Structures are given as C-alpha cells and as structure tokens.
Amino acid sequence: MGASTAQVHSEEKLPEFKKNYQVFRFIGGNLVSFFGDQIYLIALPLIVLAMTGSPLSMGIVAALERLPIVIQPFTGVLADRFNRKKILLICDLGRFIVIGLMGSLHMMELLYIWEVYVGALIVGALTQIYNTSQFASVPKLVQKKDLQLVNSINTGIFHTAVFIAPGLGGILISIFNPGLGLIINSVSFFLGFLVVLSLNIESVQKQKSSTKVFTDIKEGFDFVIKQKPILYTNIAMLFSIFGTTLFLTMLVIHLKSSVGLGAAQIGFLLSIGGIAAIGGALLTNLLRNYFSYRSILFFSGTMGGISIIAFSFSDTFFWLAVMNALGTISAAIMSPCIVTIRQTLSPDYLLGRVQATSRFMTWILMPISALVAGIIAEQFGTEITIFIGGIIATIASFIYLHPSLKKA
C-alpha cells in the first residue's frame, strides 16, 4: 500500500504536459543524442570498411556492440535499486570519452581495428545500461495519461534526427573524415549529460538489503511471462529483430560497396527515411483511436518486413529511398506502442526490470544476427543477407495476432 500511495502522490505533483518543462528538456536532449547517433551509424561502417575492406569485420563490430545485451537483466536491477539519474550521467560521460577518443585517433590515423572492437563493446554496454534506466525514468517525469503522447513524440524526435542528421553527416564525412562523425556523436553525449544533470528524476525506493540480485531478476521474468501482451510482443520482436539486424548491419556496406553510393548519397537516403518516419510516429496516436495494438503491430510489422525484401532487389536511389522510408515508418509506428504497453502494465518498482527483461528476450539474438550478417555477406553478398532478413521479419509479424493484444 505504501508504494502505491507514494506513486499516486508523485503522480499528483507532476504538471500537465504543456507545462512540463522537464519533459521538454528531456525530449530536446534526446534530439541532440539521436542526432549524433545517426552520424555515428554512417561513420563507423565507413571507418571499418576503409580499415579492412571486409563486411565480416563490420559484422564483428556490430556483434560486439550488441553483445552486452546478455547483461540486460542486471541493468534492470541497477535501474530499480540505484539512483537512475546518476546511472544516466555515468553512461553519457563514458560514451563521450570512448567515442571521442576513437574519432580523434582515426583522424590522426592512429586507430587500429582492435581498438574499434574494444570501443564498440564498451559503448554497447553503456548504451544497454542507459536505455534501461531512461525507460524507467520517463514515468517519473510525466503523468500516466501522457505516456503514449510522450513516447510518440520521443519516437518522432528520433526520426527527426534520422531526417536531418544523416544528410548533413554524410556531407561532412565526405568532405572531411569519418572520424569527425564520431567526434560529433561524442559531443552529443556530453550535451545529453548536461540535460540529464538539469532534470529532477526521483530516486527509487531503496530495496531491502536482504533482497538478492537473482531474486530481483527472477521477479522481472515472472512478471513478463504472466503479462501476455508483453510476452507475445517480446516473442514477435525476438524474430523480427533478428531479421532487421541482418538488414541494418549491412545497410551502409550494401549501399557503399554493392550499389555504389557515396557517403553524401547514403546520408540523404537515410534522411528521406527519417522524414517519412516522423509522420509514422505521430500517426500512432491517431491509429490508437480506431485500432487495437494487435492490428497496428501486425500491419506495421508486415509492411516493414516486405519493405526490406523489396530493398534487397532495388538498385536505384529512388526505390531504395522509398523502401527504406516504408521500413522506418513501420518502425516508428510500432515503437511507441510497444513501449507504452510495457510502461502501462508495469508497476513503478518493476519498470527497470520489465524493460531489461523484455530487451534481453527480444535482443538476445542480435549479436549472433550481426555476426551471421557478416558471414553471409562475405560469402553470398549483401543482397542475399538483406533478403533473408526481410523474410524473417515478415513471418515474425504474425505473432502479433495473439488474442492477448486485443485487450492491451
């Protein structure tokens, strides 16, 4: 009763969305961070390709960056036991240092591939911890009725960055050096650090010292398994993410080496996808007035999977841009729906563990998928890799038809 009463009082203290200036700062900070991330996603593959000329090397880098997914259950315990604001600050500062160092070394032509491997692993671990703590912090910043709206806006902001950043980043990288892209990403994390520093994120209630870590982790898994809407969206995403990771790992490599696009063209192509996805993210709230999460997730997932299949057959800038735009629209519609389902069905004291458990369940195959992408592309080409990814993502969408999602 105590925890529930405290949660109600905390909810009453929060201002209406239009007067919630903390949320505006939070969204603005995410825009800056997302902006840097999009430039990083172009710069890093180009650096690896220039250093090694091998799709397999990019597969290894992507796999190492995703390997820390195995610690997701522990990140949930961290987010539920310790001060979430301090966790966010440490992760932002760590990524600022590591990515900035890699970018500086590359610009001085002193960067080695093993250093990229180590950096990718560290950045991956910090990102996993950060994302779980941020997810658990959002309900502390807004009223519950505003969660869907904030999640939709946050997704729209992400895709605004996808619209603006790759085009500008591609031009900068083509004129100067891919290492500059990493430095820009590094600075974005420092600015994110300053934004989090300004936020008033309430500390979670202290857990009893007798509570064991593995008991906390088990509690998170038990809750997710009992909440069927969360469980079945997780199962669908497990397979869908395996397919989309095959696609995303080879995306820039495919556009550069197979299609023959330059860095600026790649940036513009990704930016076109971003502007389309902004509409997709904001469309989610409208769709929720007429359709269940079940219908939205199934149709969006199917459209996304088919767009990847079509992307693998496309060889002109126009059709590549169209298919990429359809895929990003689909992802933009689905993301706030899935996040809101988790946040709405989870009590505050379990938010970190529910998100961590869900990410563990849905992302556990990502390192394997990234490595497999490199192996298939090395042997058969990037087109086959992307085609297989689209087939898997399309089939996975049918899991969203589970009856439990009608009532979610």
Which CATH number do you get for residue 323?
1.20.1250.20
Q: 84 in a domain, yes or no? A: yes
Which residue, chain included where needed, has tokens 């600015």?
A: 191
pLDDT at 204: 57
Handedness of CA 166, 171, 174, 179 (dihedral sign): negative
Q: With CA atoms as reference, report the closest residue to 153 among 26, 316, 4, 58.
A: 26
Q: 40 in a domain, yes or no? A: yes
Q: Which residues have a Cβ under 8 Å from the Cβ of 158 and sit 6 or more positions away? A: 30, 34, 281, 332
First and final CA of the chain: distance in angstroms?
Answer: 25
Q: Which amino acid is at 101?
A: L
The predicted-structure confidence for 246-292, as pLDDT tens digits, reads as follows 999 999 999 998 998 988 899 889 888 877 777 777 788 788 888 88
Helix (H, G, I), strand (E, B) or coil at 143: coil
| Residue 14: how many other CB atoms lie within 10 Å | 18
Q: Does 396 have pLDDT greater than 80? A: yes
pLDDT at 191: 92
pLDDT at 144: 74
Number of structural domains found in the chain: 1
Between these two residues, 103 and 81, which has the higher pLDDT value?
103
pLDDT at 173: 80
Q: 1 in a domain, yes or no? A: no
Q: Which residues have a Cβ under 8 Å from the Cβ of 171 and sit 6 or more positions away? A: 263, 264, 267
Q: Does 19 have pLDDT greater than 80? A: no
Residue 15 host element (H or E): none
Are the CB atoms for 237 and 301 separated by under 8 Å?
no
The predicted-structure confidence for 29-58, as pLDDT tens digits, reads as follows 877 887 888 788 888 988 998 899 888 998
Average pLDDT value over all residues in the chain: 85
Residue 377: pLDDT band with limits 50, 70, 90: very high
Q: Does 85 have pLDDT greater than 90? A: no
Q: 2 in a domain, yes or no? A: no
Are the CB atoms for 238 and 368 separated by under 8 Å?
no
Q: 184 in a domain, yes or no? A: yes
Identity of the highest mean pLDDT range in 91-105, 156-170, 327-341: 91-105
Q: 14 in a domain, yes or no? A: no
What is the Cα–Cα distance from 378 to 394, expressed in whole angstroms? 24
pTM over 0.95: no
DSSP letter string, 303-343: HHHHHHHHHHH--SHHHHHHHHHHHHHHHHHHHHHHHHHHH
Q: 143 in a domain, yes or no? A: yes
The predicted-structure confidence for 351-367, as pLDDT tens digits, reads as follows 778 878 898 899 899 99
What is the Cα–Cα distance from 188 to 185, expressed in whole angstroms? 5
pLDDT at 5: 44
Both tokens assigned to 200: 């008033």
- CA distances (Å), 22 to each of 79, 108, 302, 308, in order? 20, 40, 36, 38
pLDDT at 6: 44
pLDDT at 297: 95
The predicted-structure confidence for 127-150, as pLDDT tens digits, reads as follows 989 888 887 777 777 777 777 677
Structural domain span for residue 363: 20-202+211-406
Q: Does 208 have pLDDT greater than 60? A: no
What is the Cα–Cα distance from 294 to 402, expressed in whole angstroms? 7
What is the Cα–Cα distance from 261 to 268, expressed in whole angstroms? 10
Instruction: Please give the backbone phi and psi of residue 202, each rounded to the nearest 5 degrees, phi first.
Output: -60, 140
Q: With CA atoms as reference, report the closest residue to 123 among 56, 52, 185.
A: 185
Q: With CA atoms as reference, report the closest residue to 220 among 207, 238, 203, 201.
A: 207
Q: 152 in a domain, yes or no? A: yes
